[in-house]
Amino acid sequence: METGITNPMDRRPNRPAGGKSFPRNGPPPSNGPRGKSPPAKPPLRRQVTTLWEYPSQDYGDTQQGIPGYVGATPSYIIWNMIDRYTKPGDLVVDCFCGSGTTLDVARDTGRRALGYDVHPTRKDIFKVDARKLPPELTNKVDMVFIDPPYSTHIDYGPDPRDIGKLNAAAGYYDAMTDAFKEILRVLKPGKMMGLYVSDSYEHGKAFYPLGFELFRRLQDVGFIPVDIISVVRHNKTLEMGNYRKAADEGNFFLRGFNYLFIVKKPA
Ligand SMILES: C[S@@+](CC[C@H](N)C(=O)[O-])C[C@H]1O[C@@H](n2cnc3c(N)ncnc32)[C@H](O)[C@@H]1O
C-alpha cells in the first residue's frame, strides 16, 4: 500500500512546486480576466471570535480543491487552522481528503501535507481508510484537519468502507470514533485537530445532533477540548426561496452553520 510517508511533498498534480506563501492577510483579491470583475473576495484574515464567516469557497485568484466538488470545505477555514496552529515545514494530514482542499492550502502556505480517502479524487491522495492510517505515522503529525461525511448526506462513491454509508442511528458514531483513535495516535503530543461537521436533519424523519455526539466522543478517546467555532454556511440552498418557504411553513430549520471543533492531543 502506498501511503506517501517517505516523501509527503511528492505527487502534486496541480500546484506550483514549492508552494506559495501568502502574507498573514492573504493574497490580493482577483479582478478576473479582461477587466471582468467577479465579486471581490476580501483578503484572508485570522478569525478572532468563535463566529467565523467568509463569503467565498476559495481565497485569492486560484481555487483550492477541485472546482465543483460536492461537499468541499471552504478553504479559509483550513487556512485559519493551519496559520494559527502550524509553522512552515510542519506536516498536516487530512484523512477524509475529498477534493484535496487541505493539501492545496497546506502547500500554499509552505507546509507539508498528506491526504487519505477511500475515494481518492487525484494522484496525491492515497487510498487509505481513516480508521487504518499508516503505522509509521505514529506521533509524526503536526496538525490534522478533517471534514468527514455528515452521516448519509452525500454519496461519495462505491467503497464499502465509506463512513458516509452509515446512518447516525446505525454505526456512524462508532466508525468516527475509530477514526478519532487513529488521529490521536498519529498526532504529535500537544498538537491540534480540527473537525468540521454539521448536524443532520432528515425531513419528516429525524434530527441527529452529530456535532454534540462527535465532540463527546473526541473527549472519550482522549482529546482535550480547545474551542468550539460556529461557521456561517453559504450553501446555495439556504438562499433558495422554495427551501426557505418550506422551512418556514413546515416548522423546521435549514442548516445555517457548521461546527468547527478544535481539540488537542495531551502533551
Ligand atoms: C466532506 S468530504 C471531504 C471534503 C474535503 N475536505 C474537500 O474539501 O474536498 C468527505 C470525504 O470522506 C471520505 N471518506 C468517507 N469514509 C472514509 C473513510 N473510512 N476513510 C477515508 N475517507 C473516507 C469520502 O470519500 C469523502 O471524500
Rg (CA), the chain: 18
Q: Is residue 7 predicted with pLDDT exceeding 70?
A: no
Atom number of ligand 1 nearest to Cα 163: 16
Average pLDDT over residues 241-265: 92
Q: Which residue has the cell 452529530?
A: 210
Average pLDDT over residues 150-177: 94
Residue 32 inside a domain? The answer is: no
**End-to-end CA, the chain:** 31
Residue 16 inside a domain? The answer is: no
Residue 141 inside a domain? The answer is: yes
Average pLDDT over residues 39-45: 83
Q: How far apart are CA 83 and CA 146, in angstroms?
A: 16
Average pLDDT over residues 90-94: 98
Q: How far apart are CA 42 and CA 266, in angstroms?
A: 36
Residue 83 inside a domain? The answer is: yes
Residue 41 inside a domain? The answer is: no
pLDDT in tens, 108-141: 999 999 999 999 999 999 999 999 999 999 999 9
pTM over 0.85? The answer is: yes
Average pLDDT over residues 22-45: 52
Give the number of domains in the chain. Answer: 1
Position 36 scores a pLDDT of 44
Q: How far apart are CA 259 and CA 107, in angstroms?
A: 25
Residue 4 inside a domain? The answer is: no
Answer with the residue of higher pLDDT: 12 or 180. 180
Position 42 scores a pLDDT of 87
What one-letter code names the amino acid at 125? I
Residue 19 inside a domain? The answer is: no
Instruction: Give the structural domain span for 246.
Output: 50-264
- The CATH number assigned to the domain holding 166 equals 3.40.50.150
Answer with the residue of higher pLDDT: 73 or 11. 73
Q: Is residue 161 predicted with pLDDT exceeding 90?
A: yes
pLDDT class of 40 with cuts at 50, 70, 90:
confident
Helix (H) or strand (E) holding 105: helix 101-108
Q: How far apart are CA 95 and CA 34, in angstroms?
A: 39
221 phi and psi angles, rounded to 5 deg: -80, -10
For residue 224, the CA-to-ligand 1 centroid distance in Å is: 24
For residue 108, the CA-to-ligand 1 centroid distance in Å is: 21
Answer with the residue of higher pLDDT: 20 or 131. 131
For residue 238, the CA-to-ligand 1 centroid distance in Å is: 23
Pocket of ligand 1 (CB under 6 A): 65, 69, 71-73, 95-96, 98-99, 101, 116-119, 129-131, 147-149, 156, 161-164
Residue count of the chain, please give it: 267
Residue 8 inside a domain? The answer is: no
Mean pLDDT, all residues of the chain = 87
Beta strands in the chain (DSSP E): 51-52, 91-94, 112-117, 125-127, 141-146, 187-197, 200-202, 206-208, 224-232, 257-264
Position 223 scores a pLDDT of 98
